[in-house]
């Protein structure tokens, strides 16, 4: 029951967060230079045509009126129509967002596969050659920008060695996984470096705890000590970091999808910024922000499960 009450409290706390997201999204989109009419008509647009289109889109009304109209449509599930593409924003998001979600999930899985076992090795071989090699290798990936890592992987593995496609998404599930592997690896390298360093430090701290010494003195098997006592407690801070970094993954997906020509939500977001497509920008920003908020909720639930004291 404490866990259930904790989940309800966290859900209620998301309500003001969503309202704040609506306000910030609306304001930031309106702060972009230019306007949709000018982007649609070009540099030689006449003032009369610009005013006519702004009137048709309701952009000549006071900002407070535009905001309440925008909030009302969001609450009812109507995100409007794309100004440039002339289709519903909901259908665009439904088509592009799954691509970004698959890319993000693949990146997270690759990061976990890389970071968790190597963090254990680094912690067990503390200050030895294996520890230095692992930390040094991950430090290289952490210090390079995501777009630069993507260009290197694209040049070597796709353009030169032709092991992976240079872009696209594919049709079948295996084909999609094949196309998204290099973009996912690009995002995962820096993510894995952060997780590995945090988990290594947590494992070292937990191994020096008194309850671990007591478990060893009781004669428990090494496997039980490692999984039940060391791993479970070391993962608490790493789970928190994992949840916080999901937002960074979504941000990195915007750049990665552009580098690898992946038709996801990130690339659509960039195109919408250039085209001043307010409805698409607003819909994508809100969708991504809600996904990040839900990720934080799941992270909090996992933390409460790992450490029941958090739910009290």
What residues contact 141, with CB distance under 8 A and at least 6 apart? 149, 189, 190, 192, 193
What residues contact 254, with CB distance under 8 A and at least 6 apart? 266, 267, 269, 270
CATH topology for the 89-311 domain: MetI-like fold (1.10.3720)
Length of the chain: 312
What pLDDT, on a 0 to 100 scale, did the predictor assign at position 106? 93
Q: How far, in whole angstroms, is CA 295 from its chain's centroid? A: 9
Summarised one tens digit per residue, pLDDT across range 80-135 is: 788 778 888 889 999 999 999 999 999 999 998 999 889 988 988 888 888 889 88
Does the pLDDT value for residue 290 go beyond 80?
yes
> Could you tell me the pLDDT band of residue 223, with boundaries at 50, 70 and 90?
confident
Does the pLDDT value for residue 210 go beyond 80?
no
Does the pLDDT value for residue 196 go beyond 60?
yes
Sign, Cα dihedral of 252, 258, 262, 267: positive
Which residue has better confidence, 305 or 121?
A: 121
- Beta-bridge mates of residue 81: 88
Are the CB atoms for 269 and 260 separated by under 8 Å?
no
Mean pLDDT for 194-214 is 84
* Percent of residues, the chain, with pLDDT higher than 70: 92
pLDDT, averaged across the chain: 82
- Coil, strand or helix at 299: helix
What pLDDT, on a 0 to 100 scale, did the predictor assign at position 110? 93
Query: Count of CB atoms within 10 A of residue 107's CB?
Result: 27
Does the pLDDT value for residue 222 go beyond 80?
no
pTM of the model: 0.81
Are the CB atoms for 276 and 16 separated by under 8 Å?
no
What is the residue whose two structure tokens read 């791993």? Answer: 231
What is the residue whose two structure tokens read 């520890």? Answer: 131
Q: At what angle do helices 278-306 and 232-259 cross, to 10 degrees?
A: 160
End-to-end, the C-alpha distance of the chain in Å comes to 10
How do the domains of the chain map onto residue ranges? 89-311
Does the pLDDT value for residue 35 go beyond 70?
no
Summarised one tens digit per residue, pLDDT across range 241-281 is: 887 788 788 878 888 888 888 888 888 888 888 877 888 88
Summarised one tens digit per residue, pLDDT across range 156-187 is: 998 889 898 888 887 888 899 999 999 999 99
What pLDDT, on a 0 to 100 scale, did the predictor assign at position 182? 92
Measure the CA–CA gap between 284 and 286, rounded to whole angstroms: 5
Measure the CA–CA gap between 300 and 308, rounded to whole angstroms: 11
What pLDDT, on a 0 to 100 scale, did the predictor assign at position 39? 64
What pLDDT, on a 0 to 100 scale, did the predictor assign at position 42? 63
């Amino acid at each position: 029951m404490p866990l259930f009450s904790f989940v309800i409290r966290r859900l209620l706390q998301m309500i003001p967060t969503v309202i704040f997201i609506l306000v910030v999204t609306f304001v930031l989109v309106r702060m972009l230079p230019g306007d949709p009419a000018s982007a649609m008509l070009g540099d030689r647009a006449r003032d009369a045509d610009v005013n006519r289109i702004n009137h048709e889109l309701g952009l000549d009304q006071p900002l407070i009126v535009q905001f309440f109209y925008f909030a009302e449509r969001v609450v009812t599930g109507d995100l409007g129509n794309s100004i440039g593409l002339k289709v519903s924003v909901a259908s665009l998001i439904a088509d592009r967002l799954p691509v970004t979600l698959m890319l993000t999930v693949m990146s997270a899985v690759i990061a976990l596969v890389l970071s968790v076992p190597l963090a254990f090795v680094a912690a067990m071989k503390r200050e030895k050659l294996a520890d230095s090699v692992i930390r040094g290798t991950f430090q290289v990936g952490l210090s390079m920008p995501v777009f630069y890592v993507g260009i290197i992987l694209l040049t070597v593995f796709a353009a030169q060695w032709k092991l992976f496609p240079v872009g696209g998404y594919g049709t079948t599930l295996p084909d999609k996984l094949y196309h998204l592997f290099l973009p996912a690896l690009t995002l995962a390298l820096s993510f894995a470096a952060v997780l590995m360093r945090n988990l290594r430090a947590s494992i070292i701290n937990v191994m020096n705890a008194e309850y671990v010494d007591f478990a060893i003195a009781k004669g428990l098997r090494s496997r039980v000590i490692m999984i039940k006592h060391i791993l479970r407690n070391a993962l608490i801070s790493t789970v928190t970091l994992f949840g916080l970094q999901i937002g960074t993954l979504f941000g990195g997906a915007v750049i990665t999808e552009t580098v690898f020509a992946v038709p996801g939500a990130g690339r659509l977001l960039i195109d919408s910024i250039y085209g001043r497509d307010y409805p698409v920008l607003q819909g994508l920003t809100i969708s991504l922000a809600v996904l990040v908020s839900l990720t934080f909720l799941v992270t909090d639930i996992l933390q409460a499960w790992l450490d029941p004291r958090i739910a009290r």
